[in-house]
């Protein structure tokens, strides 16, 4: 892509999210979301492959629907209460509608159907931007509004963790697995939104770090299926040995960083007398763990039959920039002991 | 050599026959394999009037068939659920990871012929014929017929003379489409015995927009014609994009995660009989083939 156009689009994406962050008026927040959506669309269909165009169209339709619902809800709220402020949504209908619209925007179950197909049509970098940056603005809005319907958020959260677990079970396409993993993690974030919003932010940031590591590891290996990952030991042996840790961190196993959000969420849910819900969520995390382990089994724990020619790439020096990957992998693995400091930082 | 007499619309009464619905529109000679069902081709032969039957007269209601259909679809649904517990595509993951060859279509019994659809330019009023039967010992399929490139005299068609065989779209329960996932493989492997004619292999992938429904990825299949079997290995990177037979300028590689059908077409303008015997059609993984796509795309209007 023309570097000027690429710069403009990336700046526009940043601008959209920043406008939403800076807004206290619903119209400005909606505008930020729309700018964000429109800016990423050309990035998504850069390659002009029919599947990429299909993914772009599906993404556009779902995001436009969600933005329209959001605008409708905010106008309804303005009509009833007479004010456009983000924090003062006191009636249940607009609040519920906003929650559902934002759930569609980020891909929570049962509004998740677009996510695997859209991610499958994109290349790994754009998929990374979709999974991480595009979630920031909707989450900011979710954190601002006072949820009127406590059970709606819990239903959305639990459904997402279950769907994310079950849906990813038999995939062999990595991007679809990452989509279902995203749905599951978003479910965890939503579960605790109304009780301890800082934990939502913590889970979101931890998810960003872990997903970034995983996407970039797959990009370094240039692989989009589980089978093609089996050759990563010859391309980048160190990355192949670190990826199981990233995957286990995504699965939420101690002593890795991914355990931190899950532990704190389960603790908070138990404090709120929602122990059965916490149990169900923890059990659904096992489903996700199964397909994470499957990826690490294919990548690191087994060696696929191959010819000698394919065992030699590690000998050649690589020009890939792996510094971001190194940083995020270290954070993914080693951040658990800093839990008290992070909690203090987020609850300031 | 005169053409064999065909019991269809004679040329001298063409105009009256067009408006007279009592004339049989289809030829008397039956095809060995049923023609495409209505759901697969909504094609109207040029020069023929449209069928203006209301929907309730087009559907045939039958209670026992309905019950059969319900049991069949629920069985398929139960099979899908139990396959999901085993692994991707119903196979354990270790099998999926170790797979380097897979035979997709092989012709070992009469049921295998039901997976294929034949068509020729008879649908548009031409005179080619195509038939499909099992070969010797029920081990292969035998595709044969006659190619005639005389165009039908309906005032619209200018060229004619094609025959083709296309696999049917695989379906799961409740007639939902299932796609072949060949992403672990990179080469198409066919074992055929032809008669020296050049065929075209067409692969149809899943498309989203209606303007892409005639998109096919094609490559050539040159048969030798000898008594010996021919192993043809075509890498998927060699397939180029065509739309309704026209090669497109903007090419892109075939994505293998959602393949719908494969087909073989003959249209080499050489009138006469043809034969093609197919032992199996499979996919394999060639580790030595590292090409992503064989064709470069140049700017059509470069700025100078």
Nearest-Å Rg of the Cα atoms of chain A is: 20
Between chains, do A227 and B209 touch, taking CB under 8 Å as contact? no
CB atoms within 10 A of CB A21: 13
Q: Which residues of B touch A169 (CB under 8 A)?
A: 84
Is the pLDDT confidence value at A255 over 50?
A: yes
Helix A124-131 and helix A133-144, axial crossing angle in degrees, nearest 10: 10
B24 within domain boundaries: no
- B74 and B111 inside one domain: no
Residue A75 CB contacts under 8 Å (≥ 6 apart), including other chains: none
Last residue of a domain, one of B66, B98, B130: B98
Arithmetic mean of pLDDT, B171-190 = 94
The strands making up B240-243's β-sheet, listed across from edge to edge, are: B116-120, B163-167, B259-266, B198-205, B215-222, B240-243, B246-247
**Spatial separation of the C-alpha atoms in residues B261 and B204, rounded to whole Å:** 5
Question: Cα separation of A218 and A206, whole Å?
Answer: 19
- Phi first, then psi, for residue B125 (nearest 5°) are 105, 5
Distance CA(B79)–CA(A129), nearest Å, equals 38
Q: What is the mean pLDDT of residues A300-327?
A: 86
A172 reaches B (C-beta below 8 A): yes
Q: Do B88 and A171 touch (CB under 8 A)?
A: yes
Token digits of residue B124? 């548009």
| End-of-domain residue from the set B76, B98, B120 | B98
Domain housing B257: 100-284
- Classify B177 as helix, strand or coil: strand
* Residues B100, A305: C-beta atoms closer than 8 Å: yes
pTM over 0.80? The answer is yes
Residue A202 has which token pair? 């913590």
d(CA A118, CA A53): 10
d(CA B247, CA A252): 51
Which residue of A114, A119, A170, A298 is the best one to mutate when testing the B interface, meaning the one whose CB has the most B CBs within 10 A?
Answer: A170
Q: Which of A192, A166, A199, A193 is nearest to A181 (CA)?
A: A166
Considering only residues B279 and B6, tell me which one the structure prediction assigns the higher pLDDT: B279
Q: Distance (Å, rounded) from C-alpha A20 to C-alpha A34? A: 10
Query: Model confidence at A312, in pLDDT bands (50, 70, 90)?
Result: confident
Tell me whether residues B287 and A306 touch, CB distance under 8 A: yes
Q: Does residue B31 fall inside a structural domain? A: no
Residue B98 to residue A230, Cβ atoms within 8 A: no
In the DSSP assignment, the letter for residue B256 is T
pLDDT over threshold 80, residue B21: no
Q: Is A83 exposed, middle or buried (0-12, 13-18, 19+ CB in 10 A)?
A: exposed
User: CB distance A309–B87 less than 8 Å?
Assistant: no
Task: List the CATH number of the domain containing B182.
Answer: 2.60.120.430
Say whether A290 sits in a helix, a strand or coil: helix
- The arithmetic mean of pLDDT across residues B2-22, rounded, is 48
pLDDT one-digit tens code per residue, A21-77: 999 999 999 999 999 999 999 999 998 899 999 999 999 999 999 999 999 999 999
Please, which pLDDT band fits residue B133 given cuts at 50, 70 and 90? very high
- Domain assignment present for residue B143? The answer is yes
Same domain flag for B266 and B135: yes
Query: B287 vs A298: CB contact, 8 Å cut-off?
Result: no
Judged by a CB distance cut-off of 8 A, whether residue A90 touches chain B is: no
Domain-embedded: residue B301: no
Query: For residue B93, what is the nearest residue in chain A, using CA coordinates?
Result: A294
Q: Are residues B74 and B153 in the same domain?
A: no
Residue range A75-126, pLDDT digits in tens: 999 999 999 999 888 888 999 999 999 999 999 999 999 999 999 999 999 9
Element (H, E) at B127: none
User: Could you tell me if B184 and B174 lie in one domain?
Assistant: yes
Binary contact (B184, A51; C-beta < 8 A) = no
* Contacts for B68 with CB less than 8 Å, ≥ 6 apart: none
B68 and B209 housed in the same domain: no
Q: What single DSSP character describes residue B126? A: -
CA distance A136 to chain B (A): 29
Whether the upstream peptide bond of residue B286 has omega within 30° of 0, thus cis, is: no
Does the distance separating the beta carbons of A306 and B97 come in below 8 Å?
Answer: no
Around B95, how many Cα atoms within 13 Å sit in the side-chain half-sphere? 8
Neighbour tally for A245: CB within 10 Å = 20
In chain B, the number of structural domains is: 2
Based on the fold, state whether residues B143 and B165 are members of the same structural domain.
Answer: yes
Both structure tokens of B170: 């695989």
Instruction: Please report which helix (H) or strand (E) contains residue B145, including its range.
Output: strand B141-147
Q: Does A293 touch chain B (CB under 8 A)?
A: no
Q: Alpha-carbon distance A314 to B224, whole Å?
A: 43
pLDDT of residue B14: 47
Ramachandran angles phi, psi of A47, nearest 5°: -80, -5
What average pLDDT is seen over chain A?
94
Whether residues B164 and B108 share a domain: the answer is yes
Over residues A315-341, the mean pLDDT reads: 92
The answer to whether residue A224 neighbours chain B at the CB level (below 8 Å) is yes
Residues pairing with B203 in the sheet: B217, B262
SS (H, E, C) B182-199: CCCCCEEEEEEEECCCEE
Q: Which residues pair with A96 in a beta bridge?
A: none
Residues B149, B224 within the same domain:
yes
DSSP A225: B
B1 is a domain residue: no
Identify whether residues B279 and B227 lie together within a single domain.
yes
Q: Do B171 and B77 share a structural domain?
A: no
Kindly state whether residues B90 and B158 are assigned to the same domain: no
Q: Is residue B210 part of a domain?
A: yes
Q: How far apart are CA B272 and CA B148, in angstroms?
A: 7
> Coil, strand, or helix at residue B80?
helix
Q: What is the rounded CA–CA span in Å between residue A17 and residue A5?
A: 19
pLDDT, tens digit (0-9, with 9 covering 90-100), for A125-165: 999 999 999 999 999 999 998 877 789 999 999 999 999 99
pLDDT exceeding 70 applies to what percent of chain A? 100
Distance (Å, whole) CA B146 – CA B274: 6
Task: Confirm whether B273 is domain-assigned.
Answer: yes
How far apart are alpha carbons B177 and A281 in whole angstroms? Answer: 33
Task: Identify the CA nearest to A166 among candidates A184, A191, A154, A188.
Answer: A184
The reply to whether B92 and B63 lie within a common domain is yes
From chain B, which residues contact A within 8 Å (Cβ)?
84, 87-89, 93, 96-98, 100, 181, 183-184, 207-209, 212, 215, 250, 252-253, 255, 257, 287-288
- The token duo for B22 is 């009592």
- The SS3 of residue B5 is coil
B28 belongs to a structural domain: no
Q: Which residues of A touch B90 (CB under 8 A)?
A: none
Which 98-137 residues of chain A touch chain B by CB within 8 A? 120
Q: Are A202 and A261 in contact (CB under 8 A)?
A: yes
């Amino acid at each position: 892509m023309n570097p000027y156009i690429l710069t403009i689009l990336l700046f526009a994406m940043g601008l959209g999210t920043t406008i939403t962050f800076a807004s206290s008026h619903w119209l400005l927040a909606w505008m930020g979301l729309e700018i964000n959506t429109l800016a990423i669309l050309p990035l998504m269909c850069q390659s002009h492959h029919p599947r990429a165009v299909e993914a772009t169209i599906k993404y556009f339709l779902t995001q436009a629907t969600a933005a329209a619902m959001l605008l409708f809800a905010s106008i309804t709220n303005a009509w009833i209460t007479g004010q456009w402020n983000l924090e003062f949504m006191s009636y249940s209908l607009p609040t519920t509608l906003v929650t559902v619209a934002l759930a569609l925007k980020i891909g929570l179950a049962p509004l998740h159907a677009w996510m695997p197909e859209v991610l499958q049509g994109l290349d790994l970098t754009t998929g990374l931007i979709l999974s991480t940056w595009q979630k920031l603005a909707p989450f900011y809005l979710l954190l601002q509004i006072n949820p009127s319907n406590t059970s709606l958020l819990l239903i959305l959260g639990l459904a997402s963790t279950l769907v994310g677990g079950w849906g990813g079970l038999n995939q062999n396409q990595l991007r679809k697995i990452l989509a279902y993993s995203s749905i599951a993690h978003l479910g965890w974030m939503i579960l605790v939104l109304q009780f301890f919003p800082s934990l939502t932010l913590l889970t979101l940031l931890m998810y960003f770090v872990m997903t970034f590591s995983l996407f970039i590891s797959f990009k370094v290996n240039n692989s989009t299926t589980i089978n093609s990952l089996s050759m990563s030991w010859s391309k980048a042996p160190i990355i192949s040995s670190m990826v199981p840790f990233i995957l286990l961190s995504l699965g939420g196993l101690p002593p890795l960083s991914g355990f931190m959000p899950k532990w704190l969420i389960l603790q908070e849910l138990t404090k709120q007398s929602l122990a059965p819900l916490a149990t169900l969520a923890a059990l659904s995390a096992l489903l996700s763990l199964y397909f994470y382990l499957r990826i690490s089994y294919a990548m690191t724990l087994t060696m696929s039959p191959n010819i000698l020619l394919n065992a030699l790439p590690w000998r050649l020096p690589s020009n890939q920039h792996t510094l971001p990957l190194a940083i995020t992998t270290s954070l993914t693995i080693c951040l658990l002991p800093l839990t008290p400091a992070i909690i203090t930082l987020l609850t300031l | 050599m005169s053409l064999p007499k065909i019991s269809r619309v004679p040329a001298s009464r063409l105009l009256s026959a067009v408006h007279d619905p009592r004339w049989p529109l289809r030829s008397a000679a039956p095809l060995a394999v049923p023609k495409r069902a209505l759901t697969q081709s909504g094609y109207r032969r040029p020069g023929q009037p449209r069928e203006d039957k209301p929907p309730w007269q087009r559907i045939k209601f039958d209670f026992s068939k309905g019950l059969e259909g319900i049991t069949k679809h629920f069985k398929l649904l139960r099979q899908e659920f139990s396959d999901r517990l085993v692994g991707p595509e119903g196979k354990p993951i270790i099998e999926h990871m170790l797979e380097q060859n897979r035979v997709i279509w092989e012709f070992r019994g009469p049921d295998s012929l039901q997976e294929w659809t034949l068509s020729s330019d008879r649908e548009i009023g031409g005179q080619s014929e195509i038939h499909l039967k099992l070969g010797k010992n029920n081990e292969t399929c035998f595709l044969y017929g006659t190619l005639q490139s005389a165009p039908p005299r309906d005032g619209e068609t200018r060229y004619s003379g094609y025959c083709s065989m296309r696999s049917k779209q695989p379906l799961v329960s409740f007639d939902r489409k299932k796609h072949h996932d060949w992403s672990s493989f990179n080469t198409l492997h066919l074992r055929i015995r032809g008669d020296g004619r050049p065929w075209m292999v067409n692969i149809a992938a899943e498309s989203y927009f209606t303007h892409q429904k005639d998109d096919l990825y094609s490559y050539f299949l040159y048969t030798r014609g000898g008594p010996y079997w021919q192993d043809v290995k075509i890498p998927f990177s060699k397939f180029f994009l065509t739309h309704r037979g026209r090669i497109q300028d903007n090419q892109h590689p075939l994505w293998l995660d959602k393949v719908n059908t494969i087909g073989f077409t003959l249209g080499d303008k050489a009138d006469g009989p043809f034969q093609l015997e197919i032992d199996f059609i499979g996919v394999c993984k060639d580790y030595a083939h590292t090409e992503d796509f064989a064709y470069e795309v140049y700017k059509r209007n470069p700025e100078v």
